[in-house]
Amino acid sequence: MIVNNIDLEGKTVLIVGAGGGIGRRAAELFSEADANVVISSRSEPELMELEYKLNTNGNQNILALAADAAVETDVEALVDESIKKFGSIDYFVHTAGTGVLKPFANITPADFDNLINANVRTAFNVLQAVLPQMAAQKFGRVVAIPGILGKAPMMQASVYCAAKYALTGMIKCLAQEYKRHGVRFSLMHFG
């Protein structure tokens, strides 16, 4: 199927954070466009339910793999299995993340580490795994969704904003670094 003049049939889309919300809806839309869809989340029950829904809607090219994208070995297995099944990863959609809203004085070191890991480390790990393959094939599309907190401050969201700003900055830098390799990056700042 062609969506916005883009033929997605036979293209492989990896969606990290597909267990709910934006990631889940992205999986549904890419599936409707006849793409090969790899869905990943830490929550296996949510993934299995989504995989069943996508399969019953007619797309048999679905691969569901539970993985913690903040863990390098999980990401390596995720990317290896995806390429083994579909041959390549053409699109990567990063929707993984979490937030904590509380006064800065109440943020703990554990909160800080969790926010950086969930919002930045997850993207970093997957990008480290998929960008060499995308660059080698001279094609790749990366969509990261830091939301509005990736470009606008908010009270009681200092570390959450810091994580989202870091994701935004990393994606903007990678866009410059990889444009000569045919890899394009997009940021979505809605909210």
Report residue 68 as tokens: 């913690």
Name the nearest CA neighbour of 64 among 41, 80, 83: 41
Fill in the DSSP letter of residue 35: -
Cβ atoms of residues 44 and 18 within 8 Å: no
**Cα–Cα dist 100/110, whole Å:** 11
End-to-end alpha-carbon separation of the chain, Å?
29
Please pick, among 91, 160, 165, 178, the residue that the annotation labels catalytic. 160
Report residue 155 as tokens: 């009270």
**Cα–Cα dist 156/149, whole Å:** 12
Q: Is 91 a catalytic residue?
A: no
Longest pairwise C-alpha distance within the chain: 51
Q: How many CB atoms lie within 10 A of CB 167?
A: 25
Catalytic residues: 160
